[in-house]
Amino acid sequence: MELLRDLILILVPAALVGLAVYFLLKNFTKAEAERRELESKIERMKLISPVRLQAYERVVLLLERITPSQLIMRNIGAGMSAREMQKALIDNIRQEFDHNLSQQLYISSNAWELVKNTRESLISAINTAAENLNEKATATDLAQLIFEDELSSEGSILYKALEYLKKEARELF
């Protein structure tokens, strides 16, 4: 009987101490794992943040380069027909877009969708303007129609996309 009492007096406190140590170690290892995960996440953010910011910069530059005024100034040539100009503008938009396809990895899906819609909208506007001209129209005639369309469309999708990208970039950084 005395042996049983001695065993209980030794084992119960030992079990309590063992349980306490177990829970302390469990909490410590959990906290340590969370701390390491947080450090890893911070380190990844240090590496990814500059790349993401650069992606936003490149997409904004893409949109700026495909604004009708920029496109026309870069592509208009003396003696060009409206059809030649139309092809040059559309080819330039597609080249700019294709050159920046990889940026979609770093910006939101909504932002990328706006960029794609902007590209399609601009191509459509150029094609529509070209259809409204006769076969003998010059590049200047097409440019004038595109400029007029740009001026008459307040808050075009291109400017909405630019504002959305700027807002999103400001929120992230």
pLDDT at 154 over 70: no
**Of residues 1 and 54, which shows the higher confidence score?**
54
- pLDDT interval class at 89 (50, 70, 90): very high
CA 142 to chain centre: 32
Q: Where are the domains of the chain?
A: 2-172
Contact status, residue 99 vs residue 68, Cβ threshold 8 Å: no
Predicted confidence (pLDDT) per residue in 125-139, tens digit: 999 999 988 888 899
Predicted confidence (pLDDT) per residue in 92-101, tens digit: 999 999 999 9
- Distance of CA 89 to CAs 16, 20, 49, 72, 100, Å? 79, 74, 33, 7, 17
